[in-house]
Amino acid sequence: MTTQQRPLLIPSPRTPGAPELPYTPAYADQLKSISENPKPSSGTGMDINSQVDNLSLPDNITLNSSSQRSNSSYQSRASGRNSMREVSFAGNSVRELNSGELGKKPMRYGSRAESEGLSMSQKEINDEDARFVYINDPVKTNERFEFARNSIRTAKYSIITFLPRNVFEQFHRVAYIYFLVIAILNQLPQLAVFGRGVSVLPLAFVLSVTAVKDAYEDFRRHRSDKIENNRLAWVLVNDNFQQKKWKDIQVGEIIKISANDSLPCDMVLLSTSDPTGVAYVQTINLDGESNLKTRYAKQETQMKNLEKEKISGLIKCEKPNRNIYGFQANMEIDGKRVSLGPSNIVLRGCELKNTRWAIGVAVYAGRETKAMLNSSGAPSKRSRLETQMNREIIILSFFLVALCTIVSVCAGVWLRRHKDELDNMPFYRKKDYSEVEADGNYDDYNYYGYGLEIFFTFLMSVIVFQVMIPISLYISMELVRVGQAYFMIRDTNMYDASSNSRFQCRALNINEDLGQIKYVFSDKTGTLTENKMEFHCASISGVDYNGGTAIDEDEQVGYSAQVDGQVLRPKMKVKVDPQLLSIAKSGKQADQESRVRDFFLALAACNTIVPLTTETADPAVRLVDYQGESPDEQALVYAAAAYGFMLIERTSGHIVIDVQGETHRFNVLGLHEFDSDRKRMSVILGCPDNSVKVFVKGADTSMFSVIDNSLNLDILGATEAHLHSYSSVGLRTLVIGMRELSASEFEQWQSSYETASTALIGRAALLRKVASNVESNLRILGASGIEDKLQQGVPEAIESLRMAGIKVWVLTGDKQETAISIGYSSKLLTTQMTQIVINCKSKESCRKSLDDALIVSQKLVPDSVAAHATGGSSEASPLALIIDGTSLVHILDSELEEQLFQLASRCNVVLCCRVAPLQKAGIVALIKNRTDDMTLAIGDGANDVSMIQMADVGIGISGQEGRQAVMASDFAMGQFRFLVPLLLVHGHWNYQRISYMILYNFYRNAVLVFVLFWYALFTSYTLTTAMTDWSSMLYSIIYTAVPTIVVGILDKDLSRRTLLKYPQLYGAGQREEGYNTTLFWVTMMDTVWQSAAIFFLPVLAYWRSTVDISGLGDLWTLAVVIVVNLHLAMDVLRWYWITHAAIWGSIIATFICVMIIDCLPSLFGYWAFFKIAGSALFWLCLLGITVAALLPRFIVKVFSQYYRPDDILIAREADKFGNLTALRNGEIELNPIFDPPRR
């Protein structure tokens, strides 16, 4: 690693905080690239793959896979949770210890350096790229560059800028520009087809609706901005802390924060109430992680009393950026240069916790804070249907151009044929006889020659036929999606009571994609499982204790401790094994008892958990909440507490543990944190009896190598057997060992530890070595089994998804064995499945195993079946592919990708274990780039962000691991099982509704255009419109808009019950049955027929009669509206009263509008409606048109439904007639295992 060779800026050995540590972990670059490229788009697939390829993966992966290869699955059973959390880098590893008797000065020891990798290497910041902050000198700081003030502004507009800016933003939509161009064209006198006012109407309508919506949203933002800006903070002014409004805070000012205050801006910590300069912050508002993070003030500033002695210094830091985990700066203070890293900065939006006060200097303020820079909205994606729709829109514009060309060419021909007559023709009168030209000829009036006349006719026809491109469709679609989102959010079946979270729609424009998903990529931890670790059983010196009884909330009080007259009780209760409990409680000094005690002591002590006490309703009782980055550790500490070893306090140098009612204080002499090489952690405790003990816990593979094999072979063997049985039931295991250090050993350790931690080069490696030295010759205490609880309803959900023809892939950072065991418990894998396992170390071996696997798969799944594999039918031997991250490194981004794809598409289940976050995105891209199938990624953690953004639909689980996944997602929900109602029910409905709506809107507008077109053929191609201008503009606003929106929101083909009972019905969306090119063309043919019926029936009936333009125009208007609405009525599947109101209401509204228009004497067609409607012929025409226009569609519908019923229709019939016997038969045929998810 090159960074190791780089010289340090300042070698300051005693400086707490370890940014000086030069060690950059192997995957720091990878992490950096994640944080820098938060949104890998599909276009950068190459990029991602190359990044994946470049990663030098942590050694553990290679080690692991080799061991897996040699011994099937026996050796590697347990693993620390930590190794899976590659990206949970926020947790700072450095612990401090007050060395008590051993040292006078406060000091911190640290052994893990991963987090520092994020501070990047110790690069010198260029002056141009830096901002200079003079501490406590805001005037000087701000004199050269005007840094942003701390007032924030999330509102987009002010009163003055609203109109121009909003209009400008709205015109970013191409559709609106089309609208605008048409409206402008219509303003030209030669082209004015419609009245000037009328032609602007639709555009104005749409713009104003959107503007009102935007204005309201902005108003709310203004309000919240105001509240935020006027909050108060203590700022150092003239050596006194005074209250200042947030908005007045400037960069360079010194700010004091008290406990539980939120931070007004990003600031570098100068000092805190803790003597060692530690501050705890909660970042829930920033990344949603609720655990506390430690931040440090530099020793150089921590010593100062800021109110008394004036501080001055210069911080040189990088320009504002959005990386909330990175910060790079150095500080010159008292002539010394100190480097600052991400652990020295606290960010706006965080809250100070557990620290009385903290003082810092503002470095980024207002909109330049990382929180504000990160507060961008959800990424916008485009739905599949909309993309396909654009294809048809292009066809429609070809239609439009074709119609316009026909009209204009015909007009040219007509002019040519009548060129001799034009001058005198009473209805043309080319010459203007009122003025005589000098040469005795007359001027042409409004005639510009054939070329221009044809051109003008063309433009005019574009204006007349403009609705061919259904712009109103875009608006209706948005409204419909809002309606759909409303229903999804309000669905009581998707409310998660445990996290009190509703379904969230973060992206509004891909609702219908939910109905077409073919691949689901799921994270495991926190998505399939609850990420709630529960201590399940323990094996202590070879004795298995797994008789944990269920917690009974009422009877069992659990363990509690008395401290200072108050009762402390752990927040969570754990099932306890009564036998183990009695052993733990007995004060005997027997061998087994003392081992049990040591075991629990190790559980309570060997961790990085911070206990927090919270008040309860009863003032005498306080709850202890264990905060930590690893849920495994939390589970272990809670377990220890339940057995009477309760961690009460953790400070810099000691921990306090209540052991069976007695409070013991242990000095924490050293702590070697978990790292992925050792895969274990250890703590060195100075016990009250002055002995020094080292407790180690870690993964079984790494622990057995450091356990003294000469001792207690029986215990070792028994423990191994227990470990095997634990992991086979899907438990996560950890092995715990300890030994006592002699005084000489301790001194030796201490000196080597200090040497290592002050070393200039290779510090991390040295520290690792120190740790390895002390973690040796351990005595085994036992092993713990922690249950990673599966979320409720996961197996049923996976079964439903599989029946729906959705392939579920699980991508996890876990080991192969864990992944497989979860696979079984979640019914992803079944015993009938043939498993293909690929874990190879080199490209060549990958190639070979892929080839072999392909041959096997071809044998098992013949091609013909593979094609149907998505249909959800159960084949004789389904395939499951299990592949690990190392192999994927070799396969992704190489020519082997294709083979993997071939193989994976034959498999029903794919499990990827040990995958890095970017590999997850790579796997999604593997499918996305090669097929048209829709992909959905679901995950809960920061490591799923790349995958969520890569997939067509990204779903975040608002669970334990913070909100980053949710922030990146399109939809968020509380539980994995909600995927079933979301896809099968809402997705299906959304797809059916939107796809029908698109087709209908195309049809609706095209009918009108064709009617206008036919009429153009009878006006010598001059585009006189028989319908009034108002009617043709109101057509898509009033006459026909409401029913399509109502139907688009409310209509549903099948009930929720049926959809859940037959997941296969989901296939309709996957096969694009609701919207495809065939349907489009069929619709268009229907359109031509209907428009012909509407137009020609009255033409023939009124041929050579006295009928006037307006009268016939009114007839056509009404006929079009009635036909179009009845067409919709014919397709409505469910008639609610709202549907009735919308459809019949629209028809009635049209009659009323037509009457009103014809009552205005200023308009051309005054009274025309009343004249024509007075004759029976009019009404007979309307009736005849309606029936004649809709008859073909009805006939086709009847016969196709009768002879080729699709699944949805049959299910609808069954739904309606409640054909019970038939349904029961169906169920037996389908799948007896299936148990519909609880409602």
Partner 1 sequence: MSSGEGSSQPSSKKSRQPKYSRFTQQELPACKPILTPGLVVTTFILVGVIFIPIGLLSLSASERVVEIVDRYDEDCIPSDQEKTAFIQSDKTNKTCVRSLTVPKKMQHPVYIYYQLDNFYQNHRRYVKSRSDKQLRNPENEDLTSPCEPEARVDNKPIVPCGLVAWSLFNDTYGFSVSGMNLSVNKKDIAWDSDKNYKFGSKVYPKNFQQGSLIGGGKLDEKIPLSEQEDLLVWMRTAALPSFRKLYGRIEQDLEANETITVVIQNNYNAYAFGGKKKLVLSTTTWIGGKNSFLGLGYITIGGLCLFIATTFIVMYLIKPRPYGDPSYLSWNRNPPGN
Q: By the 8 A CB rule, do 770 and 515 touch?
A: no
Q: Which of 121, 285, 388, 660 binds partner 1 (CB under 8 A)?
A: 285
Task: CB nearer to partner 1: give 1037 or 1188.
Answer: 1188
Q: How many Å apart are CA 633 and CA 605, to the nearest integer? A: 10
Using CB under 8 A as the binding rule, whether residue 1092 contacts partner 1 is answered as no
Q: SS in 3 state form for 560-582? A: CEEECCEEEEECCCCCCCHHHHH
Q: By the 8 A CB rule, do 59 and 677 touch?
A: yes
Using CB under 8 A as the binding rule, whether residue 1191 contacts partner 1 is answered as yes
DSSP state of 549: P
Cα 1234 to the center of its chain, rounded Å: 29
Q: Which of 487, 1014, 1151, 1234 binds partner 1 (CB under 8 A)?
A: 487
Using CB under 8 A as the binding rule, whether residue 649 contacts partner 1 is answered as no
Using CB under 8 A as the binding rule, whether residue 451 contacts partner 1 is answered as no
Under DSSP, is residue 31 helix (H, G, I), strand (E, B) or coil? helix
Question: Which DSSP string do the residues of 261-289 spell out, in sequence order?
Answer: PBPSSEEEEEEESSTT-EEEEE-TTTT--
Under DSSP, is residue 256 helix (H, G, I), strand (E, B) or coil? strand
Q: Given the rule CB under 8 A, which of 75-83, 92-100, 483-491, 707-715 is the region that contacts partner 1?
A: 483-491
Residues 954-1013 that bind partner 1 (CB under 8 A): 963, 989
Task: CB nearer to partner 1: give 683 or 1046.
Answer: 1046
Residues 192-231 that bind partner 1 (CB under 8 A): 224, 227-228, 231
Which among 384, 458, 434 has a CA at the least distance from the CA of 934? Answer: 384
Task: CB nearer to partner 1: give 52 or 152.
Answer: 152
Using CB under 8 A as the binding rule, whether residue 501 contacts partner 1 is answered as yes
Question: Tokens in use for 886?
Answer: 């190392």
Which among 956, 974, 970 has a CA at the least distance from the CA of 505? Answer: 970
Q: How far is the CB of 773 from partner 1 (least distance, A)?
A: 45
Q: By the 8 A CB rule, do 963 and 288 touch?
A: yes
Residues 311-350 that bind partner 1 (CB under 8 A): 349
Q: How many Å apart are CA 448 and CA 431, to the nearest integer? A: 11
Q: Given the rule CB under 8 A, which of 167-175, 740-748, 813-821, 1018-1026 is the region that contacts partner 1?
A: 1018-1026
Q: Is 287 marked within a binding site?
A: no
Residues 1052-1071 that bind partner 1 (CB under 8 A): 1052, 1056, 1062, 1064, 1067
Using CB under 8 A as the binding rule, whether residue 1108 contacts partner 1 is answered as yes
Q: How many Å apart are CA 282 and CA 1211, to the nearest integer? A: 52
Question: Which DSSP string do the residues of 299-353 spell out, in sequence order?
Answer: HHHHTS-TTTS---EEEEEEPP-S-TT---EEEEETTEEEEE-GGGEE-TT-EEE
Angle at alpha carbon of residue 266, lines to 264 and 270, rounded to 5°: 100
Residues 1112-1131 that bind partner 1 (CB under 8 A): 1112-1113
Task: CB nearer to partner 1: give 9 or 284.
Answer: 284
Question: Tokens in use for 1114?
Answer: 């009114």
Q: Is 525 marked within a binding site?
A: yes
258: which strand partners?
357
Task: CB nearer to partner 1: give 765 or 1223.
Answer: 1223
Which among 43, 111, 202 has a CA at the least distance from the CA of 950? Answer: 43
Q: How far is the CB of 463 from partner 1 (least distance, A)?
A: 12
Using CB under 8 A as the binding rule, whether residue 621 contacts partner 1 is answered as no
Q: How many residues does the chain have?
A: 1239
Q: How far is the CB of 501 from partner 1 (least distance, A)?
A: 7
The contacts of residue 365 (CB under 8 Å, 6+ apart) are 147, 148, 149, 150, 249, 250, 251, 265, 266
Under DSSP, is residue 109 helix (H, G, I), strand (E, B) or coil? strand
Q: Which of 651, 1020, 1076, 1083 binds partner 1 (CB under 8 A)?
A: 1020
Q: Given the rule CB under 8 A, which of 279-287, 510-518, 751-759, 784-792 is the region that contacts partner 1?
A: 279-287
Sign of CA pseudo-dihedral 542, 543, 544, 550:
negative
Task: CB nearer to partner 1: give 287 or 775.
Answer: 287
Q: How far is the CB of 820 from partner 1 (least distance, A)?
A: 28
Using CB under 8 A as the binding rule, whether residue 1176 contacts partner 1 is answered as yes
Using CB under 8 A as the binding rule, whether residue 157 contacts partner 1 is answered as no
Using CB under 8 A as the binding rule, whether residue 1100 contacts partner 1 is answered as yes
| Cβ atoms < 10 Å from Cβ of 7 | 9
Q: How many Å apart are CA 1146 and CA 1168, to the nearest integer? A: 21
Q: How far is CA 481 from CA 246, 381, 890, 1133, in A?
A: 39, 14, 42, 19
Which among 345, 333, 326 has a CA at the least distance from the CA of 267? Answer: 345
Q: How many Å apart are CA 88 and CA 608, to the nearest integer? A: 15
Q: How far is the CB of 988 from partner 1 (least distance, A)?
A: 12
Taking every pair of C-alpha atoms in the chain, what is the biggest distance, in angstroms?
Answer: 133
The type of residue at 431 is K
Q: Given the rule CB under 8 A, which of 77-85, 623-631, 1020-1028, 1039-1047 is the region that contacts partner 1?
A: 1020-1028
Using CB under 8 A as the binding rule, whether residue 363 contacts partner 1 is answered as no
Q: How far is the CB of 1015 from partner 1 (least distance, A)?
A: 8
Q: By the 8 A CB rule, do 272 and 239 touch?
A: no
Q: How many Å apart are CA 966 and CA 499, to the nearest integer? A: 14
Binding mask 849-888 for partner 1 (x = CB under 8 A): ----------------x--x--xxxxx-------------
Q: How many Å apart are CA 876 and CA 448, to the nearest integer? A: 77
Cα 387 to the center of its chain, rounded Å: 21
Using CB under 8 A as the binding rule, whether residue 708 contacts partner 1 is answered as no
Residue the block writes with tokens 């020295």: 344
Residues 343-362 that bind partner 1 (CB under 8 A): 349, 351
Residues 516-575 that bind partner 1 (CB under 8 A): none
Q: Given the rule CB under 8 A, which of 212-220, 615-623, 934-942, 1110-1118 is the region that contacts partner 1?
A: 1110-1118
Residues 402-421 that bind partner 1 (CB under 8 A): 418, 421
Q: Given the rule CB under 8 A, which of 332-340, 486-494, 892-900, 1040-1048 is the region that contacts partner 1?
A: 486-494
Q: Is 213 marked within a binding site?
A: no
Q: Given the rule CB under 8 A, which of 105-113, 256-264, 397-405, 591-599 is the region that contacts partner 1?
A: 256-264
Task: CB nearer to partner 1: give 434 or 744.
Answer: 434
Task: CB nearer to partner 1: give 312 or 1225.
Answer: 1225
Catalytic residue among 137, 513, 523, 933: 523
Using CB under 8 A as the binding rule, whether residue 1171 contacts partner 1 is answered as yes
Q: Given the rule CB under 8 A, which of 561-569, 590-598, 721-729, 1224-1232 is the region that contacts partner 1?
A: 1224-1232
Q: How far is the CB of 1229 from partner 1 (least distance, A)?
A: 6
Using CB under 8 A as the binding rule, whether residue 1238 contacts partner 1 is answered as no
Q: Is 674 marked within a binding site?
A: yes
**Active site (annotated) includes residue 127:** no
Q: Which of 184, 761, 1195, 1233 binds partner 1 (CB under 8 A)?
A: 1195
Cα 28 to the center of its chain, rounded Å: 23
Q: Which helix (H) or strand (E) holds 159?
A: helix 159-170
Task: CB nearer to partner 1: give 725 or 1020.
Answer: 1020
Q: Is 231 marked within a binding site?
A: no
Q: Is 920 marked within a binding site?
A: yes
Under DSSP, is residue 671 helix (H, G, I), strand (E, B) or coil? strand
Q: How far is the CB of 933 from partner 1 (least distance, A)?
A: 19
Supply the residues annotated as catalytic.
Answer: 523
Annotated binding site for ATP: 523-525, 633, 674, 697, 732, 812-814, 914, 920, 943-944
